[in-house]
Amino acid sequence: MKVGVFICHCGNNIAGTVDVARVAEETRKIPGVAYAINYMYTCSEPGQDQIKDAIKKYDLDRIVVAACSPRMHELTFRRTVEKAGLNRYYFEMANIREHCSWIGEDRELNTNKAMEAVRAAVAKVMQDKPLYSSSFAVNKRVLVIGGGVAGMQAALDCADGGHEVVLVEKSPSVGGMMARLDKTFPTIDCSICILGPKMVDVAQHDLIKLYAYSEVEEVKGYVGNYQIKIRKKATYVDWTKCTGCGECMEKCPSKDAYDSFNFGVAPTKAINIPFPQAIPKKAKIDPTYCRQFTKGKCGVCAKICPTKAINYEMEDEIVTEEVGAIVVASGYGLLDIEKMGEYGGGRYPDVITAIQYERLLNASGPTSGHIVRPSDHEEPKTVVFVSCCGSRDKSIGVPYCSNFCCMYIAKQAILTKDHMPDSQSYVFYMDIRSPGKGYDEFTRRAQEEYGTKYIRGRVSRIFPKGKKMVVRGADTLLGTTVEIEADLVVLANAVTAAPGAPQLAEKLHISYDTNAFYVESHPKLRPVETNTSGVFLAGCAQGPKDIPASVGQGSAAAAKVLSMLSKDFLENDPAIAQVNQNACVGCLKCVKTCPFQAIVEEELRGGKVVAKVIQTVCAGCGVCTSTCPCGAIQLQHFTDNQLLAEVNALCLS
């Protein structure tokens, strides 16, 4: 056995605090090492050529690279050794950067630690066995979770690429938050006018199957072969019969239902179609308000419905779909303004959220686009906008910037002036964050052309005074406190993760951060991938972002799906669990502990029961290995013997 070891300087990243020449020198003394050298950038092309040349020249059959984390370049070097004719698993990486040079400043100690890491890696590589991938067929259908603008974009791009798409939307219509907006910044074009055609495309595309008012219940399987259980929530209206005529909504006597589409700006009927452009345009009963459910009698909608679509007995239905890839575009939530006690959110009717104000501005909203105060339905003449309501405030658990509030506040201030030329708007702000194309010009326009008064400072209290709301805050540029008597106060409440985001993440085996936004595989270089292969991200589920960014990410996720689905077969990672049938006693503890249901019971000839690993499902986590009482199930490339060899090398040094 001849081991070659390549020690990387990584510029000064490693060589700055590790004596790499000494590491190479010491490495040459390790039994089994036939060749060791230090080099400036081992990952560079000449660096890789050096490895290939050395394999040929010195007849090396195992390679160790001591450099950065295997997460960075393990794949690079596996390919290099494979090109030189070795099995790609005859390769080990010793991490002497993240685990060593970057975290310690003592050159002597770092050098010692680097040598130990190399010794362990050499011991492991000498125990390595050749492994080979097997390939499996890929289901070319795609699941998109969330029918907002990001999800619809991903669905349309995948479908245009020729793949069948299953689109699951939680609410009764696709469109998401964008469907609720009046205009969009910085062009002030009508939101539903540009979104509507996309919604219609989704509805009419032959390859898109839409499940509205449905949720993902269970995700089983693995990249290329997922089985998805979808819960179609009971609407109490047979959507195959409903024509969306709206007769039921007109006649329904229960008029106080909460209107989630309008964020409670005005009540709706217990049976309703959320908005005129809804896709699908179908009615749905809210049983918490419907008299048939609360009082046991009514039946008005059932009597009036011309197609007899009403069915009070309807129950949730579970359907199963099989797909190969998943795009998660489950959107965002908004901070409950009752958490901001000093603003009186929830206590004072004339303190509302920006999305509620958006519905007041919107021609298809409950006031037909007339701005009125909720308390007395009078037109407000003085409107105060409060930005960063919760955002960038650690004390209420939102340490981050919500990204797009500065822009929509400027837009709403401009629209306020358009609707009511004799009105005056004020904006309390911490910083104006407008880094997009045409964005800063837009916020300037709100101030210079529309006369919006921007006050730099935080609001400390909002309280009623007669019919007015007094907004008291600091003007940090003037160094004084200010009080503005407003008719209406609009709070730009923080963007949060969507309700239920962690639960969905757990179903999908993807990770989420402390704020419950989904975590991308790499913040710069893999922004739409997750660490679970086959699952991709788009839109605000990954973090607050505006419409152009959401659409861009939707298309990017679709591009990743299309490139994955361009292959008929995928190769599995052979570093998975394997059962030694001779040693297995058939206790089947591993079957119970496997988090991926990758292990099943198998009966051999003669009736002996043993565990069997389904290769394509096993994720190589190793839980079974530590469960097995007799060491019969071993994770390939991380077997007990291989790991003990590393430990021994460390103990001997």
Contacting positions for another protein (CB under 8 A): 340-342, 344, 347, 461, 463-465
The answer to whether 272 and 249 have CB atoms below 8 angstroms apart is: yes
Least Å distance, CB 126 to another protein, is 49
Report the C-alpha gap between 490 and 386 in whole angstroms.
6
* Half-sphere exposure (Cβ direction) of 573: Cα atoms closer than 13 Å: 17
Least Å distance, CB 251 to another protein, is 16
Residue number with CB closer to another protein (349 or 464): 464
Residue number with CB closer to another protein (348 or 450): 348
Least Å distance, CB 342 to another protein, is 5
Q: Is 622 left (phi over 0), alpha (psi -120 to 50) or beta?
A: left
Q: Is the peptide bond before 186 cis (omega within 30 degrees of 0)?
A: yes
Residue number with CB closer to another protein (297 or 437): 297
The answer to whether 222 and 137 have CB atoms below 8 angstroms apart is: no
Least Å distance, CB 431 to another protein, is 24
Q: How many residues does the chain have?
A: 653
Which ranges of 128-260 would DSSP assign to H, the alpha helix?
149-160, 191-204, 247-251
Nearest alpha-carbon partner for 137 in 536, 472, 449, 565: 565
Residue number with CB closer to another protein (320 or 481): 481
The 8-class DSSP code of residue 421 comes to T
Q: Report which residue type is found at 606.
A: G
Sequence-ordered strand ranges (E) for 177-316: 183-184, 189-190, 208-211, 214-222, 225-232, 271-272, 284-285
Least Å distance, CB 341 to another protein, is 3
Residue number with CB closer to another protein (28 or 347): 347
Residue number with CB closer to another protein (261 or 343): 343
Residue number with CB closer to another protein (91 or 343): 343
Least Å distance, CB 343 to another protein, is 8
Residue number with CB closer to another protein (83 or 255): 255
Nearest alpha-carbon partner for 372 in 364, 385, 384, 383: 383
Grouping H, G, I as helix, E, B as strand and the rest as coil, residue 298 is coil
Residue number with CB closer to another protein (234 or 396): 396
The answer to whether 637 and 645 have CB atoms below 8 angstroms apart is: no
Q: Which residues pair with 481 in a beta bridge?
A: 474
Least Å distance, CB 456 to another protein, is 23
Residue number with CB closer to another protein (233 or 472): 472
Report the C-alpha gap between 196 and 469 in whole angstroms.
37
Query: Which three-class secondary structure string do you get for 572-640?
Result: CCCCCEEECCCCCCCCCHHHHHCCCCCEEEEECCCCCEEEEECCCCCCCCCHHHHHCCCCCEEECCCCH
Report the C-alpha gap between 356 and 340 in whole angstroms.
17
Q: Which residues pair with 257 in a beta bridge?
A: 268
Least Å distance, CB 283 to another protein, is 24
Q: Which two tokens stand for residue 589?
A: 């503890």
Q: Report which residue type is found at 550.
A: S
